[in-house]
Amino acid sequence: MEDVNRDRFIRFIDIINEPYASWIQTILNVYWREFSSIPATKHPNRHHPSERIYPYGMINHSMRTVFIARLLIVEENLISFKNQIIFSAAFHDLGNIRRYNGQSTYKMHPFESFSMIEELISIPDEDKKMIKNMIENHMHHWFDTHAIDKFDKIIAYADYLASRPEIELNGIEYFGQVK
């Protein structure tokens, strides 16, 4: 069952270009079990209601973020960067694994997300800066970090919109029992 759901998530991300397709496999080989078992939030009644249900809360939130990022990529005419943007959208909250197991904090989770990716993958310099900025600045609505370019803004907006319970997205088949 676990592999079926993992494959479903990979299909949803829908990146077939290398090296990104392999990077996704590498990350999920190590982190799927934990990533798919954490919630989208510690405060399920305040945020993320549509994807709050364990154990796939963070996967559902990540899918919503990917979905919205894809719309923004078209709107902003950034198709040529879709691998970098969708990859960042899919894993922007990976660092919450360390937050939920007590190794890190809410404030640090964007930085943990990129560290965890970088520990597994050697991202070429030309993509590294962009991906690092997108992931590390995704909380700029709430933290003092600032979205410094249009790529960072896309992930920050996608994350924010994905967290809004009033936004229903047709086309996402959520994992778990979502009410």
Give the x/- contact pattern for Fe ion in 156-175, rule: CB under 5 A: ---x----------------
**Minimal distance, residue 93 CB to Fe ion, in Å:** 4
Identify which range of 8-16, 28-36, 90-98, 145-153 contacts Fe ion by CB under 5 A: 90-98
Is 10 exposed, middle or buried (CB count within 10 Å of its CB: 0-12, 13-18, 19+)? middle
Cα 56 from Cα 124, distance rounded (Å): 31
Cα 101 from Cα 5, distance rounded (Å): 22
Scan residues 28-87 and list those touching Fe ion (CB under 5 A): none
Would you say 93 or 136 has its CB closer to Fe ion?
Answer: 93
- Strands (E) in 1-153, as ranges, are none
Would you say 112 or 159 has its CB closer to Fe ion?
Answer: 159
Verify binding: residue 152, Fe ion, rule CB under 5 A.
no
Cα 176 from Cα 60, distance rounded (Å): 9
Residue 170 neighbours by CB under 8 Å, 6+ apart: none
In 3D space, the residue among 31, 49, 30 whose CA is nearest the CA of residue 40 turns out to be 49
**Minimal distance, residue 110 CB to Fe ion, in Å:** 6
Would you say 19 or 161 has its CB closer to Fe ion?
Answer: 161
**Minimal distance, residue 38 CB to Fe ion, in Å:** 12
CA 134 to each of CA 5, 50, 79, 93, 167: distance values in angstroms, whole numbers, following the listed order: 26, 25, 16, 11, 23
Identify which range of 2-10, 19-27, 80-88, 153-161 contacts Fe ion by CB under 5 A: 153-161
Identify which range of 20-28, 29-37, 89-97, 125-133 contacts Fe ion by CB under 5 A: 89-97
| Site residues, Fe ion (CB under 5 A) | 93, 159
